[in-house]
């Protein structure tokens, strides 16, 4: 691991432990550097800072073969971090410069696209289907459970 990164992370952890009401921001040049810095912060903080005290905001810049496979995971992580920032006093945030440049939708806009489902509660499937169709999802026939796995001859 980069020695400069370790020194910076140790300094940020020390400051975060002293001041519980401030957000300490680390901005890196790349998403990869941001992931390394977040990992380093977590290691150095140990049990002194909770999982929610340290957050990383990915840029969601996808290129190459894996862009479609990891897009949902990155988007979920980005939205999860934004939610955490709204609901928890995060003490250390690691973000790359490309992530800072990404436009973040207003919370009211995001809320207009949410539908809360609760276990044990009845939900009108037609309303949920209409909402999904209005967001661009397409209705497809249900696949039967009689699928067989195997190789093509």
* pLDDT value at residue 152: 47
Q: What pLDDT sits at residue 142?
A: 67
**pLDDT at site 85:** 86
Report residue 105 as tokens: 């939708």
* CB-CB contact of 81 with 104 (8 Å): no
pLDDT (0 to 100) of residue 65? 46
Contacts 24+ apart (CB under 8 A), 4-12: 5/33, 5/36, 5/37, 5/40, 6/40, 6/44, 8/37, 9/37, 9/40, 9/41, 9/44, 10/44, 12/41, 12/92
- pLDDT average per 10 residues of sequence, the chain (153 residues): 75 84 86 87 87 85 54 78 86 88 74 77 85 76 57 46
Q: What residues pair up with 93 in beta bridges, in sequence order?
A: 25, 55
**The predicted structure's pLDDT at residue 100:** 83
The pLDDT score that the predictor gives to residue 1 is 55
């Amino acid at each position: 691991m980069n020695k400069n990164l370790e020194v910076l992370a140790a300094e940020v952890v020390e400051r975060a432990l002293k001041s519980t009401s401030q957000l300490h921001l680390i901005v890196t040049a790349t998403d990869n550097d941001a992931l390394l810095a977040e990992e380093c912060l977590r290691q150095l903080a140990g049990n002194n800072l909770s999982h929610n005290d340290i957050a990383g905001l990915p840029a969601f810049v996808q290129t190459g073969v894996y862009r479609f496979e990891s897009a949902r995971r990155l988007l979920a992580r980005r939205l999860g971090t934004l939610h955490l920032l709204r609901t928890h006093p995060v003490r250390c945030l690691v973000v790359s410069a490309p992530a800072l440049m990404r436009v973040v939708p207003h919370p009211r806009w995001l809320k207009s696209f949410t539908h809360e489902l609760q276990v044990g509660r009845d939900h009108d499937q037609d309303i949920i289907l209409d909402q999904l169709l209005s967001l661009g999802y397409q209705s497809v026939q249900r696949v039967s459970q009689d699928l067989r796995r195997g190789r093509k001859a």
